Chains A and B, each alone.
Chain A
Amino acid sequence: AMEGGPSPRIREGDCAVLKRDDVFKAVSVLRRRKIIFEKQWFYLDNAIGHIYGTTFEVTSGGHLQPKQEVEETTTEAKEAGTDNRNIVDDGKSQKLTHDDIKALKDKGIKGQEIVQQLIENSTTFRDKTEFAQDKYIKKKKKKYEAVITIVKPSTRILSTMYYAREPGKINHLRYDTLAQMLTLGNIHAGTKMIVMETCAGLVLGAVMERMGGYGSIIQMYPGGGPVRAATSCFGFPRGFFDNVHEFPLSRVQSVLCGTFSSEEKAVLHEDTNGLPEDRQLQPEEEPAAEAPMEISPAEEQDTTDISAEDGEFKENREKENKESVREKQMKQWERRKKLKEAAALLRERNADGLIVASKFHPTPLLLSLLEFVAPSRPFVVYCQYKEPLLECYTKLRERGGVINLKLSESWLRNYQVLPDRSHPKLTMSGGGGYLLSGITVLLEKGSSEGRDSQAPKVEEEPASKRCKLQELPC
């Protein structure tokens, strides 16, 4: 199946996520590799073969051992106070000293037992209310019981993890905002999506998860290449990347104005001249850049290469050298091929949606990238700040070709739900960014039919007129 036949068991080489309470960390499952997580160190060797979702205890020597479900020791009759009128904070209620606790830990005593001892040595514990006792135990458990759960990566887990650990790397895109984007963008299997993000590849990964390997994605990237650190944490099967294309932002304009293929030829020409063996780059000779590649150029290259080698070089070092040059050329050639494929996909101007979540100003991105999207398709832009989206909204209205524009933000509130103690959690996130979404429609040029019958018969309407026309249906 395209979904990659997920194994419910932890395997060597898997991408997994460690979880302790609400803290996550993404790791590769490797043998004999020391992991440090939440001030603890351990090895994952023993986790291999267990089902995802298993909770482990960290034993001495850093081994993991599946946690046994223990019956809470509730045999003894509970004793509790009703209020705190007689509880005085004299700092002496705990009879165990710092050193005592450290000694217990050093002896390798289980966290559970340490918690029990702390309770027994607390003079005020019995006077605390039942609720306060509960809270005390929970707090101590959190500190002394070293348990971790190993879970399968997913958008839910990775977006929560990134927002908590490295919000700066994902432009403070909160997970509920990402969830809105995926829904507003109608991301699903079989679509052709354009994704422009500088969120470490998290948004790309989220889109890939929702597409399940069906359809295609064109990732637009700034600079030298796309960042996919977060994407790799998802542990997607290799096949998922077959239809993930990438295209540099700096070449967008050339695709839009049709100079891409000629530019490409010029670049190739330059490169070819600079390389020791220009013969290898022959496949670029094809007359029209858009013509599909019929012959497998890789094979062709192999043959020329081998014959050349046989005749000229015997020495190993030179051979290696040459091979690395060849590898480099192969890679370059591969990259150009993919680049051209991506350009061809863009040129069709029939993408099923556009997702933007970057550190850049959204307006120029939108105005250009929307050109590649088919009519009646959704687009979503994320921005950490509201103001650039206000401008983007105005410019899109002027441009036309979009309807149902909506500027929004979501609020997320977490709750503590316990018998007689339910309330919203004390802290909530202050901001998770803003979204501007809409739907593309056919952009009519120069037509003056419809409601605006007095419009002058000019080919290019003045901006203000266009603006007025668009304002009616929006």
Chain B
Amino acid sequence: MSFVEYGDTIKDGDTAIVFLGHESMFPVKVQHGTVTQTKYGVIRHSTDLIGKKYGSKVTCSKGGWVFILHPTPELWTMNLPHRTQILYSTDISIITMMLELKPGSIVCESGTGSGSLSHALIRTVAPTGHLYTVEFHQQRAEKAREEFREHGVEHLVTVTNQDVCKNGFGVSNIADAVFLDIPSPWEAIGHAKSALKAEGGRICSFSPCIEQVQRTCLAMEEYGFTEINTLEILLRVYNVRTISLQIPDLGQAAEDNSSSGFDSSNPSHQGSPCADLQQGTVQFKSGVPLREVVGHTGYLTFATKS
């Protein structure tokens, strides 16, 4: 396996995702002779994992079972060890599309952070593109290099440990796209422009605060970027539930207990509703929004160099 190429069976050295159920999962590094503890008991890598198909159900020592999944950037994003605040797949999706990334694209990124976006970028530009990622925090840069090695994508990425605002991306005139997720992106717009190809390219800056966006937009305009556009994307997740609503007793039950009258007078229910007047409830399927959701991650400002 690697993060850019699917494999069928689990091999020694792979990074796999142990799926315990409902958003509960974690990554493991598969190694001969190693064991992993789960709440359902122990998983022995040599016998339980290596050689098995990805997507298999693996029975743990206490008799419970888990699924072992092939890693993807999206699963990694949900499970990676946080060293910083990270970007999630909803933002990553629109960033990837709006930067027009595809196999062969050359991308510059700063900062590397925990590598959530980096993995997604590498996946998209492989096998002929490249990611130049800049991280000013030495330990984080080193950790990112290590992860890229473990995930079999080191040939697709160059991690540079420097301050992008002072020293830029370490490359010039080669990038198709630049992405910035730093506290003062306006200080890096000049460097971004020189990293982009002479014939042009796309840029994106992610900032949580509108004041940052304000300054970034001014800098972009100053440096001649066009098509400057700021947007925000939010994900709304729905739980699928069967809902039962009680039918009020209006004193009619005794008079008329055929359900046909009720059904025709109630067009609001959807799916395959089931009215049971004996029990006095109506059932229907509903997509129920979560009680609390992410209301803001950051503003995304896109622009074109042409």
Chain A interfacial positions (CB closer than 8 Å to B):
1-3, 8, 51-54, 154-156, 159, 175-176, 178-180, 182-184, 186, 188-191, 209-214, 350, 352, 374-378, 386-387, 389-391, 393-394, 403-415, 417-419, 422, 434, 439-442, 444, 449-451, 453, 472-474
Please determine whether A451 and B63 come into contact, CB atoms closer than 8 angstroms. Answer: yes
Kindly identify, within residues 50 to 78 of chain B, every residue whose CB is under 8 Å from any CB belonging to chain A. 53-57, 59, 63-70, 72-74
* Docked complex Cα distance between A200 and B233 (Å): 25
Instruction: Using CB atoms, name the residue of chain B closest to A389.
Output: B287
A-B contact count (CB 8 A): 217
CB of B276 within 8 Å of the partner chain: no
Identify the interface centre among B92, B104, B232: most chain A CB within 10 Å of its CB: B104
Identify the interface centre among A8, A350, A439, A449: most chain B CB within 10 Å of its CB: A439
CB of B80 within 8 Å of the partner chain: no
Question: Which interface class (under 10, 10 to 19, 20 to 34, 35 or more) fits B?
Answer: 35 or more
Q: Which of B1-9, B183-191, B247-255, B257-265 contacts A (4 or more CB under 8 A)?
A: B1-9
| Contact (A183, B53) CB under 8 Å given A189-B127, A190-B127, A413-B232 | no
CB of B271 within 8 Å of the partner chain: yes
| Contact (A414, B230) CB under 8 Å given A378-B72, A441-B57 | yes
Please determine whether B74 and A210 come into contact, CB atoms closer than 8 angstroms. Answer: no
Please determine whether A441 and B59 come into contact, CB atoms closer than 8 angstroms. Answer: no
Please determine whether A390 and B97 come into contact, CB atoms closer than 8 angstroms. Answer: no
Minimum CB–CB distance from B197 to chain A (whole Å) comes to 8
Chain B residues with CB below 8 A from A444, complex form: 57
Chain B residues with CB below 8 A from A183, complex form: 74, 89, 92-93, 96, 120
Please determine whether A417 and B234 come into contact, CB atoms closer than 8 angstroms. Answer: no
Chain B residues with CB below 8 A from A418, complex form: 217
Instruction: Using CB atoms, name the residue of chain A closest to B237.
Output: A408
Chain A residues with CB below 8 A from B233, complex form: 176, 410-413
Chain B residues with CB below 8 A from A350, complex form: 8
Chain B interfacial positions (CB closer than 8 Å to A):
4-6, 8, 19-23, 40, 53-57, 59, 63-70, 72-74, 89-90, 92-94, 96-98, 100, 102-104, 120, 123-124, 126-128, 199-200, 210, 213-214, 217-218, 228-240, 270-272, 285-287, 299, 301, 304, 306
Minimum CB–CB distance from A275 to chain B (whole Å) comes to 43
| Contact (A411, B63) CB under 8 Å given A182-B93, A183-B96, A394-B285 | no
Please determine whether B96 and A409 come into contact, CB atoms closer than 8 angstroms. Answer: no
* Docked complex Cα distance between A51 and B199 (Å): 7
